[in-house]
Structure 1
Amino acid sequence: MGGIITGTGSAMPRQIIKNDYFSKNIFYTKEGTKNPKKGTEVIKKLEEISGIKERRFIGEEEQSVDILFDASKKALENSGIDKNELDAIIVAHNSGNMLPNKDGVFHTVPNLAAVLKNELKITNYQCIAYDILFGCPGWLQGVIQANRLIACGEAKHVLVAGLEVASRLLDPHNLDSLLMADGCGATIISASDSRNIGILAYASFSHTENDLHNITMGSSLNKEIPGDCYFKMDGKKVYKYATTWLPQVIKKAMDKVSINPKDVDYFFFHQANGKMLKVIASNLMKLYDIDDENYASKIPMSIEFLGNTSVATIPTLFDLVNKNKMEGFELAKNQTYVFASVGAGMHCNAVVYRS
């Protein structure tokens, strides 16, 4: 017995933030000195490297739970199951519930899965509700946990949500932080007796060595700005880790079911950097000695208009494709997908799925 996806939902904030929103920012170097280049010039370079043209932020009067509830309700409706049939709720996030009208103030007690269960008015006390912190790969790790609950007979239906509200933690003087955005994606994973569909294999790596502080929270690059809860990233080291290890964790998952990239219909990759996605795909093909294969048609990309929504990226992207909102990509029966993500820790993971 394994898990299949029976419902998807996503919630994207109404506020669209284009790159020129940051053009007047004064950027600083990692050493804490002012970047001599104009904000417009720096932003243009960011767009060239990342592929990001716009992203979404929640409003000042909103809180994280608002989009978490919206996405989860849509996923339940899409699945057609009753909310009290859920046996578990797993919410992956990085920063708890960002409170309205309070910049950077968030709560983690009660945990977000419990808050979501309350908001959904679920009265089934045997439905366990818990959170996981696993960086950007958190939602996918939640899917793996849901599958394990199903496989051991502990659950028939599990709601797994990935939530990110990064806008309240951005350092306006740090170019790397402007990659981040807000959003939420949710998925219902249900039990299936078939061994030929659903989650076929998975793999996860946690290095947490010299890479531990590649992505972290800390003070602003502008030392005159108070506070130590700003998003910080060493872009070059993250790029190296992702392009090295994500192909390997994908290969480990695919090798478990004896498939290679040519057998995969779509790759649902974490959307952190447009160029990085191409290198990850190229490095994966090299592991299988595949040359000159064009995988652009196999990799849906939302980073251009949604930015990097961290934990929410893959479930949001999958929902958009599932709802026929990504031109050129259409889900059908008997397709093979690979979900893969990488992020703070450093962690990375992959899931092989058959529709």
Structure 2
Amino acid sequence: MNIKITGSGSYIPSEVVTNSDFAKHVFLNDDGTPFPQPNDIIAEKFRDITGIEERRYVTDDLNTSDIATIAAQKAIEDAKIDPETLDYIIFAHNFGDVKKGALQADLLPSLATRVKFNLRIKNPKCVAYDMLFGCPGWVEGVIQAQAFIKAGMAKKCLVIGAETLSRVVDMHDRDSMIYSDGAGATIIEATDEAGGILAHETATYAYDEAYYLFFGKSFNDQHHPDVRYIKMHGRKIYEFALSQVPLAMKECLENSGIPISQVKKILIHQANEKMDEAIIQRFYRHFKLTPPEGIMPMSIHKLGNSSVATVPTLYDSIMKGQIENQKLNKGDVIIFASVGAGMNINAIVYQV
């Protein structure tokens, strides 16, 4: 028995927000003082560092559970399964449903339960729960789905990663330009086909690193001090990711028994182009190699950082032939890897 992704689907929001759309924003330092540079210079430097030219936001009528349902429906159709045969729905997100203009997140009932309701699944043995694990949530959900299947507790699992970060950003914080919305979903099944999940690795670093990403007040002191927004210590995250993610990927690959020469693609969380490139460089340096050209597909340039959605939407886009000069063939070995709030890191070696 092997455990494979048998179907995938995604929802890419329709609202395109370019860097120039931030021209009239008032960006402030964390002490509330204004930036000395004009916004066009800020946007240019931002693009050079992150690679992000535009991002996607959901329309006002949609919430995280709505776009997750759309992605899930597509994955179910792609896998050609009856949703009533699902044993688990594992929904990775971080902020729940945040309605446009709302000051509170809505997590009751869980978003996984809402997706099950939206899919009209009657089977009470289909267990639905949420995964709060930072940006690596979808990868961790796949690891948990594998564990359920290996333990004989499941045959089919739906694993979703979805987020609407546009609803939880401080528009006076230039880091708000990083974040975006999106949803990706996959069906994980036991199968007689060759390949599947070959190894996985997960770690939580919380002794010093727990609050590298956190909820904090607006940089604009005119805003209510008790309203919270996503905040981060970018330099600390960058240094942490460069030191720890390549090591986790190396250990995962070594545990799989697959030589690095057989790795065709690395699908890494779309957090920051320069950071991701540096992670891949350091990973290959452990093997005294340089990364092959095209090893790391990227979607961040047009889609931004949608947290838990970046890896499953990237995978789905490649499988559907939607990323130029990138494809996956049966038998290809790939690595999924992610890093995010917690601070959590994880990796999977997977054979298509």
Task: Check whether TM > 0.5.
Answer: yes
- 1:345 aligns to 2:332 (yes or no): no
- After superposition, the Cα gap between the structure-2 partners of 1:262 and 1:32, relative to the gap in structure 1 and judged at 3 Å, is farther
**Alpha-carbon shift at residue 20 of structure 1 (Å):** 0.8
Render the CA deviation track for 1:174-223: whole Å, top value 9, x for unaligned.
Answer: 111220100000000000245x5100100001011211111111101122
Partner SS for 2:338: strand
Indicate conservation of the 8 Å contact 1:104/1:168, yes or no: no
Distance 1:34 1:296 in 2: 41
Which of 317, 329, 344 lines up with 2:326 in the alignment? 329
How do 1:1-355 residues align onto structure 2 when only pairs under 5 Å count? 1-99=1-99, 101-193=100-192, 196-226=194-224, 227-290=226-289, 293-355=290-352
Partner SS for 2:28: coil
**Alpha-carbon shift at residue 104 of structure 1 (Å):** 4.4
Q: For this pair of structures, how many residues does the alignment match?
A: 351
Structure 1 window deviating more from structure 2 (239-248 vs 136-145): it is 239-248
The amino acid across from 1:75 in the alignment is A
Indicate conservation of the 8 Å contact 2:269/2:339, yes or no: yes
Render the CA deviation track for 1:235-270: whole Å, top value 9, x for unaligned.
Answer: 101111111111011111111022343220010000
The amino acid across from 1:198 in the alignment is G
Render the CA deviation track for 1:289-347: whole Å, top value 9, x for unaligned.
Answer: 22xx2434111100000000100000000000010101111111111010000000100
**Alpha-carbon shift at residue 63 of structure 1 (Å):** 1.7
Runs of 4+ in 1 over 2 A off after TM superposition: 101-106, 258-262, 293-296
Indicate conservation of the 8 Å contact 1:104/1:169, yes or no: no
**Alpha-carbon shift at residue 173 of structure 1 (Å):** 1.1
Distance 1:141 1:104 in 2: 29
TM-score by length of 2: 0.97
Distance 1:2 1:155 in 2: 13
Render the CA deviation track for 1:155-178: whole Å, top value 9, x for unaligned.
Answer: 110000001100011111111122
Distance 2:152 2:6 in 1: 18
Indicate conservation of the 8 Å contact 1:15/1:56, yes or no: yes
The CA RMSD measured in Å over matched residues stands at: 1.2
Partner SS for 1:106: coil
Distance 1:139 1:79 in 2: 18
Distance 1:199 1:117 in 2: 26
Distance 2:104 2:20 in 1: 26
Indicate conservation of the 8 Å contact 2:66/2:115, yes or no: no
The amino acid across from 2:219 in the alignment is L
Indicate conservation of the 8 Å contact 2:267/2:335, yes or no: yes
The amino acid across from 2:300 in the alignment is I
The amino acid across from 1:340 in the alignment is A
Indicate conservation of the 8 Å contact 1:260/1:288, yes or no: no
TM-score by length of 1: 0.96
Distance 1:16 1:48 in 2: 19
Distance 2:60 2:331 in 1: 44
**Alpha-carbon shift at residue 349 of structure 1 (Å):** 0.1
**Alpha-carbon shift at residue 54 of structure 1 (Å):** 0.4
Partner SS for 2:294: helix
The amino acid across from 1:149 in the alignment is F
Indicate conservation of the 8 Å contact 1:68/1:184, yes or no: yes
Identity %: 40
Distance 1:243 1:191 in 2: 34
Structure 1 window deviating more from structure 2 (204-213 vs 258-267): it is 258-267
Render the CA deviation track for 1:113-167: whole Å, top value 9, x for unaligned.
Answer: 1110010000111010000100000000000000000111111100000011000
Structure 1 window deviating more from structure 2 (103-112 vs 52-61): it is 103-112
Distance 1:260 1:96 in 2: 40
